Chains A and B, each alone.
Chain A
Amino acid sequence: MTFLPELVLLLGALALFVLSLGEGRDRAAQRVVTGVAAAAVLAALVALPARAELFEGAYRVDAFSQWLKLVLAAGFGLVVLQQGGLPDIPGAVRPEYHLFLTLSVTGLVLLVSCIEVITLFVALELASLPLYFLVAMRRERAGQRVQMESAIKYLLFGVTANGLMLFGLSYLFGLTGTTVLPEMVGRLYQAPPAAALTGLALAFCGLFYKLAIFPFHFWTPDVYQGASNETAGYVASLPKLGAVAVFVRFAALAPPDARVLPALFTGLALASMFYGNLIALAQTDLKRLLGFSGIAHAGYALVGFVALNEAGYLAALYYTVAYLCMALACFAVFSLLAPHGANLALGDLAGLHRRAPLLAVTLAVGVFGLAGLPPLAGFLGKFTLLSAAWAKGHTVLVLLMVVNTAIAVYYYLALFREAFFRDPPEPAPEPVRLGWPARALCLTLIAAILALGVVPGRFLETVSRSLAWTRPGPVLTGQTPMAETAAPPAPVRDLR
């Protein structure tokens, strides 16, 4: 029960592996991956109340990990729907594509439960490695070979960032003599602060890379542009949630009265926002544009961590889930609009409201969500982030974030303008035909973005309550997670 979602995904991956051994199995593989996604959602639902510590305390199934698994599984389902028949992936490797995708999601689902840094690193790699292949798997054609360059870039940056992260983890291990996060907390406070902070900052690098935060962002636009539309949709959404979840677990290590980490986060968040937003203003390739906007949004999410308290983590998590839906909505539109998988430019959206009204509405909801307009999810996300950072006195950061929101409106409006105000070019392109999976995908995403924005009460409460499980050990034993029906986690072993 406690391990069900992971088991389902692993078995699914195994089945896909068997399928990938044969020839011409891409249809079957697509069916299998759809089934796996559905089963994963069910399994995550079943496992939602599960609480346990597995593998000698390296792997913790708690309220925090379980809702994340549910969101990840649901996101996996949406990604599969969005990918459809994978038009831009060579037919021969489609089963492999599905296999790697499932493996990557498995990595993410494992990642959110890891509380031991070695396990965590392995899960992170499991989530990352398949992505390199997914990017490279795009169909080659005249003028479209950039995916190889993108994959290599992605890989090299990833390896560098992971190296830094490992280096940081080695510091943390050296200072505390343990690899289990909750144990590390108490001991890290006693270590020399400079060394502890260096270790933490380096460990965060791996996560910065996943989130695409300045200066680990360079891969983002190129990978988005080089990868097929479907792959970019995945790369842009789910892994970020995994990274933020790990970030929350790591942030518990920071001493509460630290000055250095908030200052570092402030600097990086501002750099990401300004860099992403200003460069996005000049983009015409849609995926590149969303890539730069993604950098800016990573900066926004980081604002939540500047506060280094639960309100901030809650805001960051909420924002990332909202971003996941909104980014998926945009990429879903791009995938469905380009049936042969070509990259779209801004002008290709012209007249979308005539060619495919549903897609136009989905795009509008996604784009205005990203811009932060109420009643969509992006607004409430920014609102909670602003409140959290301001409550801790980071006024300048808040004001600059607001300025950035205003800057970003311009390029989001450009998307909206093309889709709604421009007439389709002559000769008019064919109206886009949407099958029922595509319609379901669009409607689900619209509903999710609206629901997160208008009635977020339940969700916020769940997340907030689950955050009690990520608190460092000593606090946890003194203050049992309130209103949790299941038993609180076993008191952390060996607290000297």
Chain B
Amino acid sequence: MNLPEPLAQISWLSVLVFSPLAAAAVAAVLRSERAVRWWTLAATLAVAAASVPVALGFDPTTPAFQFVEDRPWIPFLGARYTLGVDGLSLVLVLLTTGILPLCVLASWRYITTRVREFMLGLLVMETAMVGVFCALDFVLFFLFWEAMLVPMALLIGVWGGPRRVYAALKFFIYTMAGSVFLLVAIVALYLMTGTFDLRALMGRGYPLAVQVWVFLAFFVSFAIKVPMVPFHTWLPAAHVEAPTAGSVILASVLLKMGTYGFLRLSLPITPDATRLLAPYLTWLSVAALVYGGLTALAQSDLKKLVAYSSVGHMGFATLGIFTLTRAGLEGAVLQMINHGITTGALFICVGLLYERLHTRELGAAAGVGKHVPVFAGFFGVFVLSSMAFPGTNSFIGEFLALAGAFEASRPVALAAVPGVVLAAAYLLRMLQKVAYGSPHNPDHAGVTDLTLREGLTLAPLLGLVFWIGLHPAPLVRLFAASVQHLLEQTLGPAAVPPAAGP
């Protein structure tokens, strides 16, 4: 890392991980709801600001882990408190800390009951999510991984829609069932190697049979999180019932945990098994793409529609990963970030509509666009971004992922094309209805356009859509070295062409 001297002394990652928790402790004793809201906003903004030095001090030319902190934690078990980021985790940390203030803003009026507890939940979630992306010790990783469960279930189950209890429990049980397999894999690896250090676990050349079992255990856990078809059924329920901020966190960050898990753990720790099974997984990803598109086409509930579109978009990310090509992997990472931005924005938009119309039915929302032109403008851009319109962020990611797929296997790439077309179909249908739909709907009289706060919530995301869409190089540069290194770990150094300049 290259930070000026006084700043280099600070353990930035620990600050990022634990400051939300400290802020939560303060929020717990604040009296008025107003104070809690402002405090949480200030705290999340401060965390976002604290991630800036990490981004600036990060050296993108090396794939090595940076800002590493390593202290003994439970010496008796060999578990250590090890944090560190490489390019892959850095961009996700930035995404997380950046999206959290927007979640607070999006909940400003949406959440009216038990505000303090809600904000506590958000802050605890932030600690856990940043922790997952920074942890380099397997026990620590698992601790943060599981620590997300309870606050997220609470966010859905207490502040969610009518079927919130069902959705929260389904979410909890699915994820928990997945993570027990992860635990088994952790124990198995520990017994073989005697270490929990992720860096030391990579590139060990385990026997193939072991790799396959470990890979499968990882796969169940991460595929549930992504979610990949057929493990996706918890997602629509959770998304539909969750409050806006919950949906945004789910879509923008939580789903990335699964793909991050593949990149951080599956590929480098079990490279042989990955190469063996990747062709099947690309087909599974294509299935997710097409299935997500087809199902989204049939939805009349806006939130459900966006939720199923998530399944499709994350299909692109996993497709990119398992092509095991550089274009594919870079596309996958970009797609993870883009999906975080775009789908998060779409969920915020749907939340804003719901606050105004108290329904999420596509039919009831038809034509509301002409009463709320500013909203319609934002919404239109995000929809275009979601269908990967050239010039927006998703275009780059999906393009690279598809290019990787062509490189890896032509039939897979051809099979993925209908997914792209379907995305255009269901997204344009939604945009057309909401923005231009039926001309006269008496219920829409008096619907107000975006307030300043709401505009501020969406504006940063809009900026990112175009910034990444038009000038992705700085972002790609952050993780290009890590992707290159990851490919070498997975395919062997000989099989990977040296990186061309970005």
- Which residues from chain A sit less than 8 Å from chain B, CB to CB? 353, 364, 368, 371, 373-375, 379-380, 383-384, 386-387, 390-391, 398-399, 402, 405-406, 409-410, 413, 417, 420-422, 455-457, 460-461, 464
Q: Is the CB of B190 within 8 A of A420?
A: no
Q: Which residues of B in the span 217-261 have a Cβ within 8 Å of any Cβ on A?
A: none
Docked-complex contact A420 and B154, CB < 8 angstroms: yes
Contact call A386/B183, Cβ cutoff below 8 A: yes
Whether, in the assembled complex, B214 has its beta carbon less than 8 Å from a beta carbon of chain A, the answer is: no
A residues within 8 A CB of B180?
A: 402, 405-406
Interface SS of chain A: helix
B146 pairs with A417, CB closer than 8 A: no
By Cβ-Cβ distance, the 4 closest A-B pairs, closest first, are: A374-B143, A460-B76, A421-B157, A421-B165
User: Of A364, A409, A420, which contacts B176 at CB under 8 A?
Assistant: A409
Contact A387 B190 (CB under 8 A): yes
Cβ of A374 and Cβ of B147 under 8 Å apart? Answer: yes
Q: How far is the CA of A22 from the CA of B353 in the complex (A)?
A: 73
Residue of chain A at shortest CB distance from B139? A383
**Which of A353, A374, A460 counts the most B-chain CB atoms under 10 A from its CB?**
A374
The answer to whether B146 touches A387 (Cβ under 8 A) is: no
Interface with A: B166-174, B298-306, B358-366, B429-437, which one?
A: B166-174
Cross-interface CB contact of A417 among B142, B157, B184, B190, cutoff 8 Å? B157
User: What is the size, in residues, of chain B's interface with A at 8 Å between Cβ atoms?
Assistant: 31
B36 shortest CB reach to chain A, Å: 15
Identify whether the interface residues of B are mostly helix, strand, loop, or mixed: helix
A-B contact sample (5 more), CB < 8 A, given A374-B142, A374-B146, A460-B74: A390-B187, A409-B173, A456-B74, A456-B76, A457-B73
Separation of A93 and B183 alpha carbons in the complex (Å): 50
Task: Determine whether the beta carbon of A386 is less than 8 Å from that of B142.
Answer: no
For chain B residues 74-122, which have a beta carbon within 8 Å of chain A? 74-77
- Taken together as a complex, chains A and B put the C-alpha atoms of A201 and B421 apart, in Å, by 68
Tally of A-B Cβ pairs under 8 angstroms: 78
Given the complex, which residues of B lie within 8 Å of A409, measured CB to CB? 172-173, 176-177
Contact of B184 among A375, A386, A420 (CB under 8 A): A386
Q: Which residue of B lies closest to A402 (CB)?
A: B180
Cβ < 8 Å to A, chain B residues 190-224: 190-191
Residues of B within 8 A of A (CB): 73-77, 139, 142-143, 146-147, 149-150, 154, 157-158, 164-165, 168-169, 172-173, 176-177, 180-181, 183-184, 187-188, 190-191
A457 touches B147 (CB 8 A): no
Chain A residues closer than 8 Å to B176, beta-carbon distance: 371, 373, 406, 409
Task: Give B401 Cβ to nearest chain A Cβ, in Å.
Answer: 33
- Judge whether B184 and A402 touch: CB under 8 Å: yes
Tell me the smallest distance from the CB of A310 to a CB of chain B, in Å.
12
Q: Do A383 and B183 touch (CB < 8 A)? A: yes
8 Å CB contact of B164 from A368, A375, A421, A460: A421
Instruction: Report yes or no: A406 in contact with B74, Cβ–Cβ below 8 A.
Output: no
A460 touches B77 (CB 8 A): yes
A373 and B180 CA atoms in complex are apart in Å by: 10
Kindly identify which residue among B74, B150, B158, B177 contacts A364, using a CB–CB cutoff of 8 Å.
B150
Residues of A within 8 A of B173 (CB): 409-410, 413
Would you give the shortest CB distance from A364 to chain B, in whole angstroms? 7
Contacts of A384 in B (CB 8 A): 77
Q: A390-B188, A457-B75 are in contact. Are A420 and B157 (CB under 8 A)?
A: yes
B164 touches A399 (CB 8 A): no
- Tell me which residues across on chain A come within 8 A of B169, comparing CB atoms: 413, 417
CB <8 Å contact, B143 and A375 = yes
Residue numbers in A under 8 Å from B154 (CB-CB): 420
Question: Across the interface, which residues of A come within 8 angstroms of B76, CB to CB?
Answer: 456-457, 460-461, 464
Complex CA–CA separation, A285 to B150 (angstroms) = 24
Chain A residue contacts of B190, Cβ below 8 A: 387
Q: Report the separation of the CA atoms of residues A41 and B345 in the bound assembly, to the nearest whole angstrom.
A: 57
Which residues of A sit under 8 angstroms from B149, Cβ to Cβ? Answer: 373
Q: How many angstroms from the CA of A417 to the CA of B156 in the assembled complex?
A: 12
CB distance from B147 to the nearest CB of A (A): 6
- Considering only CB atoms, which chain B residue lies closest to A393 in the complex? B191
With contacts A457-B74, A457-B75 taken as known, whether A413 is within 8 angstroms of B146 at the C-beta atoms is no
A422 to B165, CA, bound (A): 8
Enumerate 29 A-B pairs (CB-CB under 8 Å) in ascending A order: A353-B158, A374-B142, A374-B147, A375-B143, A383-B139, A384-B77, A386-B183, A386-B184, A387-B187, A387-B190, A387-B191, A390-B188, A398-B187, A399-B184, A402-B184, A406-B176, A406-B180, A409-B177, A417-B157, A420-B154, A420-B157, A420-B158, A421-B165, A455-B74, A456-B76, A457-B76, A460-B74, A460-B76, A461-B76
Report Cα–Cα, A390/B157, bound state, in Å: 37
